[in-house]
């Protein structure tokens, strides 16, 4: 160290390898943003006209029309059925996939296959999968159940696999040391550690499916979404608002159930 007073100012070293890079990159990012805004041709007049139309739609939607209860009820019931069945199938398929996709419990080649399945399940948005299944098995809830099942295998097994990888190895080792076979190790060493997560994920998955089932109906995969789409298409905005309100209720109910379930299993 050289003699004299230590410096009275300190700045952490720059993240950029050269000092001029920071301003240049900032300027480029700003230019890109400006170009984006310009090419979208955001037209104030159109925004104003659109706002007027939103007012019109809103006025025609109030009060919500709960008159067609049979249609509403059937749609809601179908959505709940789609969500529940696809969660059940998704979890049943997702459990073994999660074990296969956990690096710490299976050999590398098996892990590669497991991860590939997970990645495949997560590649496409549920709307695209729904369109495929509607083409394959026709309009209706079956397409919805298949869509969301595929969708959940990716989601559920990815998150569960990560939980399995985070487990305490010592507990597993102790169960192995008793002479337990691999399935018994899963039952007594792995399952107790990941059970709260399985329950939490299942309820969360159901919650997500409930919301997704309202969307995939729009492309013909059954549920309340189809009813909602038809209501919009016929300009029945008051009925559409009723449907939206019911969807809010279902999602809130799902949230409450999920909170309760997670509280019980800790």
Partner 1 sequence: MLEVSGLTKTYPTGDRALRGVTFTVDRPEAVFVIGPSGAGKSTLLRCINRLVEPDAGVVRLAGVEVTRLAGRALREARRAMGMIFQEFNLVERLTVMENVLSGRLGYVTTWQAWRRRFPPEDVEAAFRTLARVGLEGFEHKRADELSGGQRQRVGIARALVQRPKILLVDEPTSSLDPRTAEAVMRLIVELAAEDGIPALVNMHDVPLARAFARRILGLNAGRIVYDGPVEGLTEDVLERIYGDAGRPVEAPA
Is residue 114 within 8 Å of residue 106, measured between CB atoms? Answer: yes
Dihedral angle of Cα 100, 120, 153, 166, to the nearest 10 degrees: 40
Judged by phi (left if over 0) then psi (alpha if -120 to 50, else beta), residue 233 lies in alpha
Q: Which stretch binds partner 1 (CB under 8 A): 58-66, 187-195, 203-211, 220-228?
A: 187-195
Q: Minimum CB separation from partner 1 for residue 176, in Å? A: 6
179 binds partner 1 (CB under 8 A): yes
Q: Minimum CB separation from partner 1 for residue 185, in Å? A: 8
199 binds partner 1 (CB under 8 A): no
Is residue 95 within 8 Å of residue 160, measured between CB atoms? Answer: yes
184 binds partner 1 (CB under 8 A): yes
262 binds partner 1 (CB under 8 A): no
183 binds partner 1 (CB under 8 A): yes
User: What is the residue-wise DSSP string for 52-120?
Assistant: HHHHHHHHHHPSP----HHHHHHHHHHHHHHHHHHHHHHHHHHHHHHHHT-TTTS-HHHHHHHHHHHHH
Residues 17-56 as x/- pattern, contact with partner 1 by CB under 8 A: ----------------------------------------
Is residue 98 within 8 Å of residue 84, measured between CB atoms? Answer: no
170 binds partner 1 (CB under 8 A): yes
Distance CA 85, CA 97 (A): 18
189 binds partner 1 (CB under 8 A): yes
195 binds partner 1 (CB under 8 A): yes
Residue holding tokens 């899963």?
186
187 binds partner 1 (CB under 8 A): yes
Name the site residues for partner 1 (rule: CB under 8 A): 168, 170-171, 173-181, 183-184, 187-189, 192-193, 195-196
């Amino acid at each position: 160290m050289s003699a004299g007073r230590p410096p009275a100012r300190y700045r952490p070293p720059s993240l950029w390898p050269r000092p001029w890079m920071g301003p240049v990159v900032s300027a480029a990012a700003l230019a890109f943003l400006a170009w984006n805004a310009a090419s979208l041709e955001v037209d104030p007049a159109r925004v104003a006209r659109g706002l007027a139309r939103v007012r019109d739609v809103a006025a025609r939607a109030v009060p919500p029309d709960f008159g067609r209860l049979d249609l509403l009820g059937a749609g809601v019931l179908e959505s709940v059925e789609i969500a529940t069945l696809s969660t059940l199938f998704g979890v049943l398929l997702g459990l073994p996939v999660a074990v296969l996709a956990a690096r710490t419990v299976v050999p590398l080649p098996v892990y590669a296959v497991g991860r590939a399945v997970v990645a495949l399940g997560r590649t496409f948005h549920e709307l695209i999968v729904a369109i495929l299944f509607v083409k394959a098995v026709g309009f209706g809830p079956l397409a919805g159940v298949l869509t969301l099942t595929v969708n959940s295998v990716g989601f559920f097994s990815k998150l569960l696999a990560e939980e399995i990888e985070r487990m305490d190895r010592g507990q597993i080792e102790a169960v192995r040391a008793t002479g337990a076979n691999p399935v018994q190790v899963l039952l007594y060493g792995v399952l107790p550690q990941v059970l709260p997560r399985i329950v939490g994920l299942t309820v969360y998955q159901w919650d997500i499916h409930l919301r997704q089932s309202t969307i995939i109906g729009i492309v013909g995969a059954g549920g309340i979404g189809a009813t909602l789409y038809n209501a919009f298409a016929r300009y029945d905005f008051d009925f559409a608002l009723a449907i939206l309100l019911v969807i809010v209720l279902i999602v809130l109910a799902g949230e409450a159930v999920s909170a309760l379930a997670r509280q019980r299993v800790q």
